[in-house]
Amino acid sequence: MQLRSTILIVVNQCQRNYKMSEIEIKVPNIGDFKDVEVIEVLVAEGQSIKKNDPLVTIESDKSSVEIPSDLEGKIKNLKIKIGDKVSEGDLILTLESTSEVKRQEVIEKPEAEKKFENIKVTQPKIRQKNVTTNNVRDVSSASPKTRKFARELGVDINQVAGSEKDGRVVEDDIKKFVSYNSKNNFMVKDSKPDKIKNEFEHSDFGEIEIKDIPRVKKLSSKYLSNSWTTIPHVTNHDEADITEMESFRTSLTDVYTGEKIKITTLAFIIKALVASLKKFPSFNSSIDEIETGKMTLKKYYHIGIAVDTPNGLMVPKIRNANNKKISLISKELKDVSELCRNLKIDKKELFGGSMTITSLGGIGGSFFTPIINYPEVAILGVGRSEKKKIFKNGKFQTRTMLPISMSYDHRIIDGAEAARFNNDLKENLGKNFAYKLAI
């Protein structure tokens, strides 16, 4: 009789929910996160959505998470926007739904079930790796998003037992794994160093101002920290003689109007770099996991350019630079720089590069140590050119010299190969290369 009463309660509740025309969609339990920032709103008012469609993307200091809808219907009111801070239970939107609403109901449990209430929940299982005769790793089944989530938390996903069908790992499994292991002090990798507490406040010594770190800088800091701590950097410093190249560049004129053609030095450097990448393909590669013993050699030439903006450093790509004339490259450099400064650049344009160039020539300075733009394996730093007395052909001559600093991933590139690459790049920037370039 009691079990029948329970069933009737559930049925009546479902019928009441089914008749609801407007439903609130709230931030679900996303783990131990609070006041996290909304970085993307993926839907709009009046839009029809299906179950599991992503609604918004939120970002904590550890990871980015998409929040999906558990219902289908039409969005009536959108309650949040980019930049808002949300926590569990905050309202995302209201939905006009025609589908049955599934809600967790607190109901009286049958007497037969009460005896299970005091059973303790065991800790998450650690997945055991299977060793085969071919010495192949047993790789967990998981989506790319889940694997990224695990990497950001410093978790070896192959040690996590999946709760879904066929042992598939989901984000909840990783959260439970992290929670249990952090309490028992045997996490595979500590993703944060110990914090050092200052004995004094900054305000103890004078007037201060508190400002938010720009979002672009906060986002790039994760990638820079990851690159610096995981990639063994080595930097090769040298100087390239660009006397003839600069003479050629500054002498360019329009054949019809006679006006000077203004082309930035950086456009010539891009073209020269592409020529060297063709000769040294390992510089146009990536290694996602060194344990696999594999590297990805790219057949395209997308050159990243570090753009200084008021919001922070951004690195858009000049796509297929090998197929473009220098005049077009120069124009694209202006266009993408403007898009970055106005925060109108497509996010996808910041990814998928071959190698990056970061130039301080317009500001000043000579040699420095640029940080590799992961997952690339090398980056070229360019300083300000200057005229110097160089001993050449038996006498001292005034030459225009360009400081170059190339950082490379020592796991893939060794010192001798880096020196050869720099020598080739210097030759490409010299006299013989300049006159062969299509303008």
Res 51: pLDDT: 84
Q: Is the pLDDT of residue 125 over 60?
A: no
Q: What is the CA radius of gyration of the chain?
A: 29
The mean pLDDT value for 27-48 works out to 81
DSSP string, 79-105: ---TT-EE-TT-EEEEEE--SPP----
- Minimal CA–CA distance to 316: which of 268, 353, 264, 273? 353
The mean pLDDT value for 151-157 works out to 78
- Prediction pTM value: 0.56
Res 120: pLDDT: 41
- Minimal CA–CA distance to 349: which of 340, 341, 358? 340
- Minimal CA–CA distance to 186: which of 230, 139, 148, 154? 154
The mean pLDDT value for 27-34 works out to 75
Query: Could you tell me the residue ranges of all domains in the chain?
Result: 21-96, 132-184, 215-434
E strands, 373-432, are: 378-382, 386-392, 395-409
CA-to-CA distance for 120 and 97, rounded, in angstroms? 38
- Minimal CA–CA distance to 405: which of 317, 320, 336, 306? 306
Rank 44-53, 110-119, 388-397, 414-423 by mean pLDDT and report only the highest: 414-423
Residues 6+ apart with CB under 8 A from 199: none
CATH topology of domain 132-184: Dihydrolipoamide Transferase (4.10.320)
Q: Is the pLDDT of residue 7 over 60?
A: no
pLDDT band at 140 (very low <50, low <70, confident <90, very high): low
Active site residue 410: yes
- Minimal CA–CA distance to 288: which of 216, 237, 226, 338? 226
Q: Is the pLDDT of residue 70 over 60?
A: yes
| The residue to which tokens 């558990």 are assigned | 70
Q: What is the DSSP letter of 398?
A: E
303-305/355-359 β-pairing:
parallel
Q: Is the pLDDT of residue 5 over 50?
A: no
pLDDT band at 339 (very low <50, low <70, confident <90, very high): very high
Q: Specify the higher pLDDT residue, 184 or 111.
A: 184
| The residue to which tokens 């007037």 are assigned | 207
Distance of CA 332 to the CA centre of its chain: 23
Q: Which CATH superfamily is domain 215-434 in?
A: Chloramphenicol acetyltransferase-like domain (3.30.559.10)
CATH topology of domain 21-96: OB fold (Dihydrolipoamide Acetyltransferase, E2P) (2.40.50)
Res 333: pLDDT: 96
Residues 6+ apart with CB under 8 A from 431: 243, 244, 245
Return the SS3 of 422: helix
DSSP-assigned beta bridge partners for residue 24:
94
The mean pLDDT value for 79-95 works out to 88
pLDDT band at 255 (very low <50, low <70, confident <90, very high): confident
pLDDT band at 32 (very low <50, low <70, confident <90, very high): low
pLDDT band at 230 (very low <50, low <70, confident <90, very high): confident
The mean pLDDT value for 147-170 works out to 80
Res 272: pLDDT: 95
Q: Specify the higher pLDDT residue, 434 or 131.
A: 434
Q: Cβ distance 226 to 375 under 8 Å?
A: no
DSSP string, 268-333: HHHHHHHHHHHH-GGGGEE-S-GGGT--EE-SS--EEE-EEETTEEE--EETTGGGS-HHHHHHHH
pLDDT band at 364 (very low <50, low <70, confident <90, very high): confident
DSSP string, 91-143: EEEEEE--SPP------PPPHHHHTTTTPPPPPPPBPPPPP-TT----PPPB-
